[in-house]
Structure 1
Amino acid sequence: MRYTERKTYLPLAESGSRMYFVISDLTKINNMYRFSLAAYLRIFQKALKTNKVQKKYLKDDSETDHRIRALTQRLQNLVYEYVRRSLFKADRLMFALHMDWEGFTGILVTDVKSEGGRGLPSWVDQERHTAVTNLKNNFPKLYQVLNFDDGSLWSNFSHSNKCEKEFPSVIEKQVTLFQQLLVVQAVGPDKLQTVMVLFACKALGMKELSPSSVNLKRLLETETLPSEPILIIISHGADSSQELQDLAAQTIGGDKYHQVAMGQGQSDIAMQLLRECAQNVEWLCLKNLHLVTAWLPQLEKEINTLKPLEDFRL
């Protein structure tokens, strides 16, 4: 009986596992994109505690199936929210599409020789004949549903600069979001970026792919731990040093907030301050870590041996 109950939640476990390996693969894009298993497990536990009910699930689902769907959706949203604020803008769309990839994998696409546009409708641009032929031969059932031969049906779509808004409504009801994306890729790839963003937002249930502005106070209250350092990467026009200092003054007092500008000869001072702050429940900010990357393994080793009190932060 117990085994049966555990097996019921196997789809949630499998989905959670896939999401973890999705974010683990981000290091292939940029070596900075590293997320610990411990952090991911906290997100997973947070998803399990949710009481949010999704109305979009079918009413005739069993209570358990409904809960699994709601938990999977909640986990996906939490993972995306957590990760996207750490990504460069250029990589957010890639990550959003990667998050949804499990929903439409398994399709084998074969190499297809161009047929010179034979049998294609006249409204398809000649330069897109090969792409549309590939769509036709690899996805014959989809191509039949699309009814490309009806030029009046696709006229507005083919000439619109915002083709995502001109997709024939009668066809839109019969195809998935990703199938619509395939159509745009074949017919009008110059509009593909916009459609991919729209697809990712709809699939993830998000209004936009860009993260909301980071609120350090909210992060402190909901996500940080004394045993894990907080890494803040600053850039031109995005320096949160003053915000961090103000937050420290409000939370523990300005006299308990310490800063060290790392550089030559500062490593020993930083290490001693780290031990004192962990013991005295104070905050320590180490700046310019990029100057002492060779020293960071020693810092990590020291952090792992610390037993900081609850309100300490690094």
Structure 2
Amino acid sequence: RLAFNTVFRKAIERAEASDDIQGRISNLTEAITYFTFLYVGQGLFERDKLIFLAQTTFQILLRSKEIELTELNFLLRFTIEHTYKSPVDFLTTQSWSAIALMDEFRGLDRDIEGSAKRWKKWVDSECPEKEKFPQEWKSKTSFQKLIMLRALRPDRMTYALRNFVEEKLGSKYVDGTRIDLAKSYEESSPATPIFFILSPGVDPLKDVEALGKKLDFTIDSGKFHNISLGQGQEVVAEEALKKAARHGHWVILQNIHLVVKWLGTLEKLLEEHSRESHPDYRVFISAEPAPSPEEHVIPQGILENSLKIINEPPTGMLANLHAALYNFDQDTLELCTREQEFKSIFFSLCYFHTCVAGRLKFGPQGWNRRYPFNVGDLTICVNVLYNYLEANSKVPWEDLRYLFGEIMYGGHITDDWDRRLCRTYLEEFMNPSLLEGDFALAPGFLAPPNLDYSGYHKYIDEMLPLENPVLYGLHPNAEIDFLTVLSENLFKTLLEMQPRNLLAGEVSGQSVEEKVKNVLDEILEKLPEEFNIAEIMQKSTIRSPYTLVCFQECERMNILIQEIRKSLKQLDLGLKGELTFSVTMEAVQSSLFYDLVPDAWTKLAYPSTYSLAQWFNDLLMRCRELDIWTQDLVLPAVVWLSGFFNPQSFLTAIMQSMARKNNWSLDKMCLTTDITKKSREDYGHPPREGAYIFGLFMEGARWDIQAGVIAEARLKELTPAMPVIFVRAIPADRQETKNIYKCPVYKTKIRGPTYVWTFNLKSKEKPAKWVLAGVALLLAV
């Protein structure tokens, strides 16, 4: 509050000193922006802080007429309805489709084709947001450059947006400042607690204890009370607060989000003890942020009265590997009588911990599901390592791998593919060759020799390569994908923060209702009629497994079409005022406005990551495929596997039809896949047995058509399409197991719950390489 008043007073003085009214307003705008940033922005994670700053910048620039609302709307929405194949090899289909969509930048596509070499150099540069655009495009405004960059290099938008804020507001907003607890303590008081918003890998207790040691507030002196809430510790906390308020002690209440029912009592106690308490009395609080607004449990009163502090978790291999080592000391390294083995495995274990924790940032390609790997897992594993080495004459590699991978870290893991990943990491990092010297933990990073504690830290600083997904076993493309997803989520949040009437009305001269009505009418006009199941069934008396799949798909499509038509007609009546506007109708209206698929449709549909425009085009394609199939109920020459609600049912039908034909037992069969060298157009009729399928994409690697094996992915080619795949069933004992990678197939990039099947793909490399790279086949990207 002191800082707030000081800065505000200075701003008023500057404003009053200005001769013109515009000068006064701009000075006050700057002051208010900066206060808000200080008291809101500093209590946010980096991503949220950037969203907050970008929204503030956009609003200021709109008011001062520096940017047009049409341009802002375009940047935030970026709706791509139709895709166009890129004529240049350095731009993806998505990027080229975005360029074709940009009416405000007519001629950009021609210039890129005409000066491909210059544009390729710009697109391929490491930080294109810092480079000048080729040709006359460099004269565009910085905001227009943001729009172009979002089309050409969406993965760099987080950095570009940060640069844009810095240019418009000043560097003080974007400079990362590590919060000094001593300064925050000076601003605190008995009535103003310090609230730590927890993030993974950050422990505020150490900082508080270090400050307490300097000021003589320690557990040994009896002036420091550390209570970790949960397990009935509320009574202990109440007593500690009472005692501390009377005698001027410090209290730290950890993880208050675990005691939801007691938080109301805590709010009252903090207010009660803040009055007439000892001037040295201080309260420190910590809690994890809620995953969603609905799960937010901390009372507003506690948050409003506290100084909120966030320390971002360390990012990158370098910071996290150091952080893993900081949990130990020289004494740990001297614990074991078998020093060489202990130190080697200990360091490898720290690297393993850093990999499994660091992979989380790469989303589903890193781990199918998110797991709370923590420092406790690592410290327990080090204790287990010490005990096992002391008790055995030989290093029990298999036992250690099992305990680390299945019990300690594996205890968190719920997905079978993630369990395979954890096991593969340990097989790579924990084996006898680790002790032989020249063992590489990652390309360009050898396991260190026998060093002391500070020597290991120095070795990391000097020998660890620059941050790269390769250090985790992933392909460099994983970084591009992760940054692109981050950027998309950021803009989605920014769009939802805009005033709806402003975005709808000022851009198109329409109200929200008129814009929604246009979208609604367009969907109803194109929505196909439902399939006549009775009529289709009469076309064939033979009920083969394939025809049953066709009937099931038509039935599910009918249910979805019925729901879309019903909800849109109800919304139409609601907009006309002929029907009472319900919560459901409001949710559909909001989704149509923001180009999102309504939840009511999603529940009856297939998993998809598309925006509404793309999703509806995809729905029409699925209906067309079913139309072709239902004409005569003959299996299409090449089946679009991605077009099924339930692709598993079609793959099972392949097994059933071959089991009947060959009189095989279904439970002793499996599918085998042969990747052809052809595309869909090369086939005129289906095979005698099995089926040809298409529509799959590979993530994490690519398929080498000539060699017929999985190969290293090409840079920036994130999800190359697969050729046609011939799928048939064989007895399980005949399947090939040598030089095979068991590749999971998922419906979307979300992976996890969208698992479909496992395809055995040929590989010259050992399968561990593809496991660590997170290689999978996807039905839609």
TM bracket, shorter-chain basis: 0.5 to 0.7
Q: Per-residue deviation at 1:303?
A: 1.8
Indicate the residue corresponding to 1:87 in structure 2: 44
- Alignment pair present for 1:280 and 2:261: no
Given the superposition, is the C-alpha separation of residues 288 and 194 from structure 1 closer, same or farther in structure 2, using an over 3 Å criterion? closer
Indicate the residue corresponding to 1:50 in structure 2: 10
CA distance in 2, matches of 1:191, 1:167: 15
CA distance in 2, matches of 1:252, 1:52: 41
Given the superposition, is the C-alpha separation of residues 225 and 75 from structure 1 closer, same or farther in structure 2, using an over 3 Å criterion? farther
Matching residue within 23, 36, 58 for 1:101: 58
Query: Which deviates further from its counterpart, 210-219 or 43-52?
Result: 43-52
The alignment's C-alpha RMSD in Å is 4.3
Which residue type is aligned with residue 185 of structure 2? L
Q: Per-residue deviation at 1:144?
A: 7.0
Task: Render the CA deviation track for 1:116-171: whole Å, top value 9, x for unaligned.
Answer: 79xxx9899583443223322xx3xxx37989749569645355443223324885
- Alignment pair present for 1:131 and 2:98: yes
CA distance in 2, matches of 1:229, 1:80: 20
Given the superposition, is the C-alpha separation of residues 158 and 282 from structure 1 closer, same or farther in structure 2, using an over 3 Å criterion? closer
Q: Per-residue deviation at 1:181?
A: 0.3
Task: Render the CA deviation track for 1:54-111: whole Å, top value 9, x for unaligned.
Answer: 9xx9xxx636543542343244334334444433344443333233231347325597
Give the match's secondary structure for 1:284.
Answer: strand
Gaps of 5+ in 1: 1-38
Matching residue within 218, 229, 239 for 1:262: 229
Question: Which structure is richer in relative contact order (CA contacts within 8 A, separation 6 or more)?
Answer: 1
Mapping 1:221-240, distance limit 5 Å: 221-222=186-187, 224-235=188-199, 237-240=201-204
Query: Which deviates further from its counterpart, 301-310 or 206-215?
Result: 206-215
Query: Which deviates further from its counterpart, 68-77 or 151-160?
Result: 151-160
Matching residue within 19, 23, 29 for 1:66: 23
Q: Is the 8 Å Cα contact of residues 249 and 257 (structure 1) preserved in structure 2? A: no
The structure with the largest strand share of the pair is 2
Given the superposition, is the C-alpha separation of residues 64 and 281 from structure 1 closer, same or farther in structure 2, using an over 3 Å criterion? farther
Identity of aligned residues (%): 25
Gaps of 5+ in 2: 63-67, 284-781
Given the superposition, is the C-alpha separation of residues 126 and 263 from structure 1 closer, same or farther in structure 2, using an over 3 Å criterion? closer
CA distance in 2, matches of 1:52, 1:169: 44
Pick the structure with greater CA Rg.
2
Q: Is the 8 Å Cα contact of residues 146 and 160 (structure 2) preserved in structure 1? A: yes
CA distance in 1, matches of 2:185, 2:198: 18
Mapping 1:191-230, distance limit 5 Å: 191-206=156-171, 209=174, 211-222=176-187, 224-230=188-194
Indicate the residue corresponding to 2:148 in structure 1: 183
Q: Per-residue deviation at 1:248?
A: 2.7
Q: Per-residue deviation at 1:114?
A: 6.3
CA distance in 2, matches of 1:232, 1:126: 43
Which residue type is aligned with residue 245 of structure 2? A
CA distance in 2, matches of 1:125, 1:86: 39
Give the match's secondary structure for 1:275.
Answer: helix
Indicate the residue corresponding to 2:396 in structure 1: none
Q: Per-residue deviation at 1:291?
A: 3.4
Q: Per-residue deviation at 1:252?
A: 5.9
Mapping 1:154-193, distance limit 5 Å: 155=119, 157-158=122-123, 160-168=125-133, 174-193=139-158
Q: Per-residue deviation at 1:211?
A: 3.3
CA distance in 2, matches of 1:165, 1:262: 48
- TM-score (norm: length of structure 2): 0.29
Query: Which deviates further from its counterpart, 211-220 or 149-158?
Result: 149-158
Given the superposition, is the C-alpha separation of residues 132 and 301 from structure 1 closer, same or farther in structure 2, using an over 3 Å criterion? same
CA distance in 2, matches of 1:158, 1:275: 62
- TM-score (norm: length of structure 1): 0.63
Q: Is the 8 Å Cα contact of residues 124 and 187 (structure 1) preserved in structure 2? A: no
Query: Which deviates further from its counterpart, 231-240 or 102-111?
Result: 102-111
Indicate the residue corresponding to 1:3 in structure 2: none
Indicate the residue corresponding to 2:281 in structure 1: 312
Indicate the residue corresponding to 2:755 in structure 1: none
Which residue type is aligned with residue 238 of structure 2? M
Q: Paired residues, what number?
A: 261
